[in-house]
Amino acid sequence: MMAKKSKNRLREIAEEVDVFDDMLTALVELLEEKGVLTQKEWEEKIKAKIEKSKGKTKYRDLQP
């Protein structure tokens, strides 16, 4: 029974991630269309943020 609840929760989380992915993609596409930023600028910003966060303690790691 617990495995089924876990699977359902995992599916719910995956669906939420998919929605966030669609939302973020639409926002970035809109910003590109309006000339606010380019794909290259977006990718560089992401890489910089990932690099900056390396080595920092993540909130999830603090959870019991």
Domain boundaries of the chain, sorted by first residue = 2-62
pLDDT band at 2 (very low <50, low <70, confident <90, very high): low
pLDDT band at 63 (very low <50, low <70, confident <90, very high): confident
Residue 58 DSSP code:
P
Cα(16)–Cα(14) distance, rounded to whole angstroms?
5
pLDDT value at position 26?
96
Cα(14)–Cα(45) distance, rounded to whole angstroms?
25
Q: Is the predicted pLDDT of residue 1 greater than 70, yes or no? A: no
Question: pLDDT per residue over 12-59, tens digit each?
Answer: 999 999 999 999 999 999 999 999 999 999 999 999 999 999 888 887
Cα(24)–Cα(28) distance, rounded to whole angstroms?
6
pLDDT value at position 56?
86
